[in-house]
Structure 1
Amino acid sequence: MLTIHADSRGSALAVEGEAVVGAGDLAELADGYPRARVRRWPGILTPGFVNLHGTELLEEAYHPDPREADALGTEPLTGAALAALAPDDVRWGGSARRGVQRMLAHGTVAAACDPLRNRAVRDAVRRTGLDVVERQGRPGGVPSLDPFASGLPPRTPPARKTGSAACFAVFDVADEAELAERGASTCVATVIGGRLLYRRR
């Protein structure tokens, strides 16, 4: 189904399958695709973010299951706490899925990783649909689900245009300046390969 995604500024993307088939003003795209479904989002459409700390967040941190919150808390476990937990493959797979969901909730459309060594993590990440891009060495900064909190300039993919992959994120802010001020937790939707993988409830 062809869908036009529009933000509060009137910017829009026409998406069919996994690809962007049109980009521009909502009025122009609606005229060009009169049978398309129109989905209006609060805030702004963006290309989303590439989280530079994919390895640290997915393979070197354990994201507790909500049912483990009483014993483990809700924040990712690293270092000595992770070593003491010593997760097995089942736990690692579940952690990776939860970690990806938390990334998606911050508008992440791709994670930059060293080659993932843990098969359970690698398989779980592949099934989520999150794009994984290779990186050269550790990026520095502080691993964070919110790219604005990492201490590094947030990295974004190229702007979406006709023919590009339908990967983008929507943030409930007025503009890019407010996004930088309030952070990526303002994300309301993340789309990868034309699939709505996260929507804030």
Structure 2
Amino acid sequence: MRADARKNYSHLLEVARDVISEHGADASMRDIARRADVGLATVLRHFPTREALFEALLREHLDALTQKAAELEASSPPDEAFVSWFREGVAFVHSYNGVVALMASAHADPESALYASCAAVHSAGERLLLRAQAEGTARADMNGIDLFALMSALGWVVDQPSFAPRADYLFDFIAGAMLTNRSSKDVKKAT
């Protein structure tokens, strides 16, 4: 990619990140183009579909979540690694309003541009869960699908104004319920 094209691409991603943070996953490609001070054709040249734009925006964060799981797996006790990573995952889901539905559909569609990154994050999270289960510190009746359903639900809940003030409590409560012999107070101390 030429230097000027790379600069335009980076600028569009930066603007798209801001617009989507403000308006959620339903943000208009036209609004992104207007805010970036370019034509819609320029946006579509770089991102021919809405999913391509989200793939570019989310890939970096999804890859970072995958990497964080590997780091925690190598350096932390299973229960602490699991809860720390879960907290990061909830924060990521919360950072983009509406991203939950995109990620859920992408994970089920191997043709999706987001599929590989979503599958890697799911695999990393499930590995941390299985590790904690093997140590007896996470509930044995949970699976990776449950983990991501809870992560998605918490990301959505804390985005609702009436629940936002209780975001930390709700996280600690759910994390405590996922672990064995741990209360939400214990979770709070461990993370």
Q: TM-score, normalised by structure 2?
A: 0.30
| Structure with more strand by fraction | 1
| Structure with more helix by fraction | 2
Ranked by relative contact order (alpha carbons within 8 Å, sequence separation 6 or more), the top structure is 1
